[in-house]
Amino acid sequence: MATAELTNPADALEAFRKEAAGWLKENFPKSLVGKENVLAAVEGGSDPDPEAVAWKKAMGEKGWGTPTWPAEYGGGGLSFSEARVLQEEMGKIGAWNPIGGMGVMMLGPTLLEFASEEQKKRHIPPICRGEIRWCQGYSEPGAGSDLASLQTKCEDKGDHWLINGQKTWTSGGQWADWCFALVRTDTTKKHEGISFILLDMKSPGVEVKPIRMISGTSPFCETFFTDVKVPKENLVGEPGNGWTIGKRLLQHERTNLSGGGSLGRGRGPSLSDIAKHYVGTDAEGRIADADLRMRIVRHEMEAKAFQATARRVMLESKSGNISLGSSILKNVGARITQERAELTLEIMGMNGLGWSGEGFSQAELGATRGWLWGKAVSIYGGTTEIQNNVIAKRILGMLDHQ
Amino acid sequence: MAVLNEEQTMLRDMARDWAREKSPVTAFRKVRDAGEAIGFDPKAFAAQAEMGWTGVIVPEAYGGSDFGYLSLGLVLEETGRTLTASPLGTSSLAATSALLLGGSEAQKQAWLPKIASGEAIAALAVDEGPRHDPAKIAAKAEKSGDGWTLGGAKAFVAEGDGAHVFIVAAQTGSGIGLFLVPADAKGVSRASRNMVDARSHAEVTFDKVALDADALIGPEDGADLLDRVLDRARAGAAAEMLGLAVQAFEDTLEYLKTREQFGEILSRFQALQHRMANQFTQIELMRSVVEGALEAIDAGRDDVAEKVSLAKATACDTLHLVSREMIQLHGGIGMTDEHHAGFYIKRARILENAWGNAAFHRERFARLAGY
């Protein structure tokens, strides 16, 4: 921390604010405002904009893309207060975080907790610099909700591991450089036979096949492993400890997938605005379709309750308490996302059901594809049904009938 | 299930067998993959015509069988189960109804035999925006000499790409009139719209189209006629929706009975059992009101409008639920294009929008009932 010599915490934070503002002003080009590509960290293709490349490099070297991660592994080494200040300063000038993807959202925090010193030194810095794209090798055709029934075999061959099997729903598999996977090192035990391993997607024997989704896109792949040799040092934790590590990683995934409280906030026109545009208003300026209007209200109120809960959960967990509220975030987030998409579609009528070509605006086509894609939110990262099981069994203590 | 007579039972069984054997979902997939603007397979439509389905509501004098709306609804339900892409609902039910209810003898002679034989496809061109709203018709037909000059644009006209004749709703000066407009008339142009269900929903423009006096179907002030025609179109859409809901439900049930997780067949989980029981319940309710609307039309009852709005609103809500549950309960596989769950939800949303969504019909029902 550059301002360590200042003893008053408030002064120190203000000093950091100045430092952050100055650095951002110097490094974030105004031309990049609004040009954030949230999928860039997942999808392939190098960014053609040299200014965006330079911005990513600067943020990566500074470690501020992963502001609270330890500086010794390439993170920003900031406190939570400093990270919030940084975010505020970025918000002021429209700067966005160019470092993201599964490495940041899921793998990094998991490695920090479970990996050996060598593994941390090797794998975390490239994540902080946004150099390596990671994909997740968890689900298999026969192991979806029942993930622990996974069969991908990982055999100890003395000087290396040998992996055979098939993964599915590998997000961004066709663009990924590396994969973190759950594999079976022991076939005699269910959960304790699973290990957590890191593997190079360029290894011989790795084959990926994109899966076309109902939205027309192919963000996932089937991934096949045929006699893939993996160095011994790539196994994280102890053999058989993968289920514990993998579950911890899923917690990071679920927190991120719930939308983190950003849903329904500020961005773009509100449902009410869209409805007034497509449906029109009555003499008193209300949405002309009274039935639709009430359903929009119900939805918006639930979204507000969701945001309030997400905020409460964040505050409670920061103060060191385990928040029961966190268990509901993914399901509520999924429901709100999907309901908003359905309402948008209903409001737009036939204009919200275009697939491509003439006659539809970009916003309308985006609404259609987003609606279809959004159906995955209640399936991936633990289905709504599985989340409800967790609530019923672990929190409410409702056990299966015998 | 409505109590069917022998002819209706035979017709339904025939449609069910044909749909399963000759027009399974894979046939729709081929139509989708072909990407033709016309949005259906002419051979499949020809086969339907050959079996007489294009003339089910057409009187025998014009080449039909006069079996009525419930009978045609049964066919639409069965073919809807496998998502058969065909102009049957639009041409042989909706547009045909306009001729049956308002057409002069000459108009019937000119078009019904061709429609009943499948030689001609007719389309209803009513809405001008993305949401069904017959109160917002701006297209205009102006008297010129003995005839009319028609101008305006119609949006998302079902089967608009393949239609040979349009039945166009337009302001006549004394109200809304319906006009028969051949697709090859001078001034008629169409632009395809590529939509989620891969079917035809064209933008059709009428630019100073000159029409003879006998192009007008029914009175110059024909809002009532239009309403009655629309009610028949709505009931037809609801019948197709019933087919979609039934099949989506059955496929989901079958999947739950075969997919294993946690060492158990999914259908043994009580939480899922109750969800399926709920859908089954809603579909039973839907069937009653959809068949009730079709029967009311056949019986010439005076509460057709209420019955139809009840049926369409219920159909929209139920199919909405079932199409969502189909994807969720199939899990990841239901999200893939390789599976057909996506086809059902896409067609479902189009039909939910067609001729008034649930909110439209709840509002209409409330008005009709004096709430």
**Nearest CA-CA distance, residue B331 and chain A, Å:** 6
Digit-coded pLDDT (tens) for B25-38: 999 999 999 999 99
* Neighboring chain A residues of B201 at a CB cutoff of 8 Å: 350
**Nearest CA-CA distance, residue A3 and chain B, Å:** 50
Mark yes or no for CB contact B349/A278 under 8 Å: no
pLDDT given for residue B368 in this prediction? 97
**Nearest CA-CA distance, residue A41 and chain B, Å:** 23
Which of A211, A379, A399 would best serve as a mutation to test chain B binding (most B beta carbons within 10 A)?
A379
Mark yes or no for CB contact A289/B155 under 8 Å: no
SS (H, E, C) chain A: CCCCCCCCHHHHHHHHHHHHHHHHHHHCCHHHCCCCCCCCCCCCCCCCCHHHHHHHHHHHHHCCCCCCCCHHHCCCCCCHHHHHHHHHHHHHHCCCCCCCCHHHHHHHHHHHHHCCHHHHHHHHHHHHCCCCCEEEECCECCECCCHHHCCCEEEECCCEEEEEEEEEEEECCCCCCEEEEEEECCCCCCHHHEEEEEEECCCCCEEEEEECECCCCCCEEEEEEEEEEEEHHHEECCCCCHHHHHHHHHHHHHHHHCCCCCCCCCCCCCHHHHHHHHHCECCCCCECCHHHHHHHHHHHHHHHHHHHHHHHHHHHHHCCCCCCCHHHHHHHHHHHHHHHHHHHHHHHHHHHHEEECCCCCHHHHHHHHHHHHHCCCCCCCCCHHHHHHHHHHHHCCCCCCC
Say if CB B101 and CB B228 are below 8 A apart.
yes
pLDDT given for residue A249 in this prediction? 85
**Nearest CA-CA distance, residue B13 and chain A, Å:** 32
CA A382, A388, A393, A399 torsion-angle sign: negative
| Closest residue to A353, CB basis, from B132, B324, B350 | B350
Residue A264 banded pLDDT, cuts 50, 70, 90 = very low
With 0-12 / 13-18 / 19 or more C-beta atoms within 10 angstroms meaning exposed / middle / buried, residue A153 is: middle
Within chain B, strands assigned E span 122-125, 140-144, 147-158, 165-171, 176-182, 188-191, 194-195, 201-211, 216-217, 260-261, 264-265
| Closest residue to A292, CB basis, from B130, B262, B359 | B359
Q: What percent of chain A has pLDDT over 70?
A: 91
Digit-coded pLDDT (tens) for A160-188: 999 999 999 898 899 999 999 999 999 99
Question: Which positions 269-308 of A are in contact with B (Cβ < 8 Å)?
Answer: 278-279, 289-292
A243-257, A279-293, B27-41, B47-61: which range is least confident on average? A243-257
Among residues B88, B363, B35, B59, the alpha carbon closest in space to that of B243 is found at: B88
* Neighboring chain B residues of A348 at a CB cutoff of 8 Å: 130
Query: Which H or E run contains B344?
Result: helix B341-353
Residue B150 banded pLDDT, cuts 50, 70, 90 = very high
Of A255 and A106, more confident: A106
Residue A261 banded pLDDT, cuts 50, 70, 90 = very low
Digit-coded pLDDT (tens) for B250-298: 999 999 999 998 889 999 999 999 999 999 999 999 999 999 999 999 9
Say yes or no to pLDDT of A38 above 90.
Answer: no
Which of B323, B335, B343 would best serve as a mutation to test chain A binding (most A beta carbons within 10 A)?
B335
* Neighboring chain A residues of B193 at a CB cutoff of 8 Å: 354, 357-360
Say yes or no to pLDDT of A1 above 50.
Answer: no
Say if CB B158 and CB B347 are below 8 A apart.
no
CA B238, B243, B249, B252 torsion-angle sign: negative
Mark yes or no for CB contact B337/A350 under 8 Å: no
pTM: 0.87
Nearest CA in chain B to A388: B271
Digit-coded pLDDT (tens) for B160-179: 999 999 999 999 999 999 99
**Nearest CA-CA distance, residue B208 and chain A, Å:** 22
| Closest residue to A378, CB basis, from B192, B194, B328 | B328
Q: What is the DSSP letter of B137?
A: -
Question: Which positions 144-173 of A are in contact with B (Cβ < 8 Å)?
Answer: 144-146, 149, 168-169
Mark yes or no for CB contact A388/B196 under 8 Å: no
Residue A58 banded pLDDT, cuts 50, 70, 90 = very high
pLDDT given for residue B162 in this prediction? 98
| Closest residue to A356, CB basis, from B130, B194, B335 | B194
CA B332, B334, B335, B337 torsion-angle sign: positive
Residue type for position B120: A
Q: What is the ipTM of this complex?
A: 0.94
Residue A44 banded pLDDT, cuts 50, 70, 90 = low
Q: What are the phi and psi torsion angles at B60 (to 5°)?
A: -60, -35
Nearest CA in chain B to A358: B193
Mark yes or no for CB contact A379/B359 under 8 Å: no
Digit-coded pLDDT (tens) for A290-347: 999 999 999 999 999 999 998 898 888 778 776 777 789 999 999 999 999 999 999 9
Say yes or no to pLDDT of A401 above 70.
Answer: no
Digit-coded pLDDT (tens) for B118-140: 999 999 999 999 999 999 999 99
Question: Which positions 111-130 of A are in contact with B (Cβ < 8 Å)?
Answer: none
Digit-coded pLDDT (tens) for A334-383: 999 999 999 999 999 999 999 999 999 999 999 999 999 999 999 987 89
pLDDT given for residue A45 in this prediction? 54
CB pairs under 8 A between A and B: 122
| Average pLDDT over every residue of B103-123 | 98
Say yes or no to pLDDT of A73 above 90.
Answer: yes
Instruction: Round the average pLDDT of chain A to a whole number and report it.
Output: 89
Nearest CA in chain B to A347: B131
Mark yes or no for CB contact B349/A353 under 8 Å: yes
* Neighboring chain A residues of B262 at a CB cutoff of 8 Å: 145-146, 149
Give catalytic residues of A, as residue numbers: 253
Residue A257 banded pLDDT, cuts 50, 70, 90 = low
Say yes or no to pLDDT of B216 above 90.
Answer: yes
pLDDT given for residue A260 in this prediction? 41
Query: Which H or E run contains B306?
Result: helix B304-330
* Neighboring chain B residues of A138 at a CB cutoff of 8 Å: none
pLDDT given for residue A305 in this prediction? 95
Q: What percent of chain B has pLDDT over 90?
A: 98
Mark yes or no for CB contact A350/B130 under 8 Å: yes
Say yes or no to pLDDT of A256 above 80.
Answer: no
Is A388 within 8 Å of chain B by CB? yes
Digit-coded pLDDT (tens) for B194-207: 999 999 999 999 99
| Average pLDDT over every residue of B336-364 | 98
